[in-house]
Structure 1
Amino acid sequence: MDKIRRVATPLLFALLILAGCDNSTGETGDQASPNAFHSDEYGIGLAYDNHQAHAVTETSGYFGDPAWRLDAETDAPGDRLLVLRLNDSDEILTGELRLGVSRDPGQLERCTRPGPLATSSKTGTTELDGALFTTYRGGDAAMNHFQNLRAYRAVHHGTCYAIDLVLQGTNPEVYDPPREAPFSREEGFARLEALLQGLAFDEKPRGRS
């Protein structure tokens, strides 16, 4: 079983305490600094280095602005908590970590099933801070645009947690002269997966027994 474990450091705990709300906390001075997101309601936090990524409020593009998880059904109830975008992303290639949640009974029931974007029925498992996530891969393509997905899904503390690692962009050959992506797809996914090291669950989310 592939396992990604969070290293519990004083810095991570300090960042999560400083976050204290459902927002990213900012920079200090003129230099980039570690940031942290935390949701009291859903009992999850993510500490990250803003030399690598920054929080954004929209994910618009050729494939639209999806709901709380990339492969959710139309009007599926849930909340998007966080989107982190790799800093050197551009229109040729963008990398994003998207975190969404739902406590809807129907979404909990189908939480870990591969969605319609899955490229196969094959799944794996990964442990993130004590929670066992089902993983699978997927994607879409149309009109020289592409979208690749590495999905992480877990039911934990009565909540469906959905983490989407997404690479999307445009075929650089359509430009004259052809353009180069800011990073390879392999590098992009490696950098997004590294962000998962900052994930931390609360022992007891608000309102959960």
Structure 2
Amino acid sequence: MDSEYGFRIAVPAGVKPRPDFSGSYLAGQDWKAYAEPGSQGVPRLAMSLPGSNRITTAELRIGVSDAAAEVRRCTTPPRGMQNGVRRARINGIDFTQFRAQDAAMSHYMVVDAYRTVHAGRCYAVDLMVYGVNPQVYSPPAAEPFPRDEALRRLRAWLDGFAFLP
């Protein structure tokens, strides 16, 4: 539970929530995925899917901003990612949802991003799978889980998200 920012999320058995975001080549430590330079917000919670490792990591991240500019553009996807935007309703909360992908230098990242405004704040919930192409290792490394399965499991965790009364 985050009483300062007014939300809670059920923590699955065997998962240890963190108050910060670990970074990688493509998955930075910003408060939300694809945050523009100068974007203002704070990372509040991250939970990694059990089995995540240096090859593939899957995380649910929640970041929050009460900066007026961030609240205004909260539900607007980053430039170049406007295709595939849809509405999602989870636990009675309306989110704008989009998928974004990136790849560079044998690294990849897939993000299912959920954005909503509540009580004058922008909430960014990112379901992220990121890592290194396992084929660059000799012998090739094994991914701990398929990307689609990881996103499906993280999406199930999102069902435990709610705002505090």
Q: Quickly name the TM-score band, shorter chain normalised.
A: over 0.9
Amino acid at match of 2:77: P
Deviation at 1:117, TM superposition (A): 6.7
Question: Which residue matches 1:110?
Answer: 73
Aligned alpha-carbon RMSD (Å): 1.5
Q: Any conservation in 2 of the 1:146–1:169 contact (CA below 8 Å)?
A: yes
Q: Any conservation in 2 of the 1:93–1:169 contact (CA below 8 Å)?
A: yes
Amino acid at match of 1:156: H
Question: Which residue matches 1:198?
Answer: 160
Question: Which residue matches 2:7?
Answer: 44
CA distance in 1, matches of 2:121, 2:88: 17
Q: Any conservation in 2 of the 1:135–1:151 contact (CA below 8 Å)?
A: yes
Instruction: Select the residue among 145, 153, 163 that pairs with 1:183.
Output: 145
Tell me the secondary structure at the aligned position of residue 69 of structure 1. coil
Runs of 4+ in 1 over 6 A off after TM superposition: none
Aligned residues: 164
Question: Which residue matches 1:61?
Answer: 24
Deviations 1:50-103 (CA, angstroms, capped at 9, x unpaired) = 33x322334121125331111111121111110111110011111000101111
- Tell which has more relative contact order, 1 or 2 (C-alpha 8 A, sep 6+): 2
Tell me the secondary structure at the aligned position of residue 32 of structure 2. coil
CA distance in 2, matches of 1:133, 1:166: 17
Tell me the secondary structure at the aligned position of residue 31 of structure 2. coil
Q: Any conservation in 2 of the 1:151–1:164 contact (CA below 8 Å)?
A: yes
Q: Any conservation in 2 of the 1:99–1:162 contact (CA below 8 Å)?
A: yes
CA distance in 1, matches of 2:66, 2:45: 17
Q: Any conservation in 1 of the 2:21–2:45 contact (CA below 8 Å)?
A: no
Question: Which residue matches 1:131?
Answer: 93
Greater radius of gyration (CA): 1
Instruction: Select the residue among 38, 43, 48 that pairs with 1:75.
Output: 38
CA distance in 2, matches of 1:163, 1:90: 21
CA distance in 2, matches of 1:202, 1:54: 21
CA distance in 1, matches of 2:109, 2:99: 11
CA distance in 2, matches of 1:59, 1:139: 18
Q: Any conservation in 2 of the 1:114–1:121 contact (CA below 8 Å)?
A: no
Give the 3 Å change call, closer, same or farther, for CA 131–46 of structure 1 in structure 2: same
Identity of aligned residues (%): 38
Deviation at 1:47, TM superposition (A): 1.1
Tell me the secondary structure at the aligned position of residue 39 of structure 1. coil
Q: Any conservation in 2 of the 1:97–1:165 contact (CA below 8 Å)?
A: yes
Instruction: Select the residue among 63, 67, 72 that pairs with 1:100.
Output: 63
CA distance in 1, matches of 2:164, 2:50: 28
Give the 3 Å change call, closer, same or farther, for CA 186–178 of structure 1 in structure 2: same
Query: What are the within-5 Å matches in structure 2 for residues 120-159 of structure 1?
Result: 120-159=82-121
CA distance in 2, matches of 1:150, 1:64: 13
CA distance in 2, matches of 1:184, 1:68: 26
More divergent stretch after superposition (38-47 vs 54-63): 54-63
TM-score of the pair, normalised by structure 1:
0.74
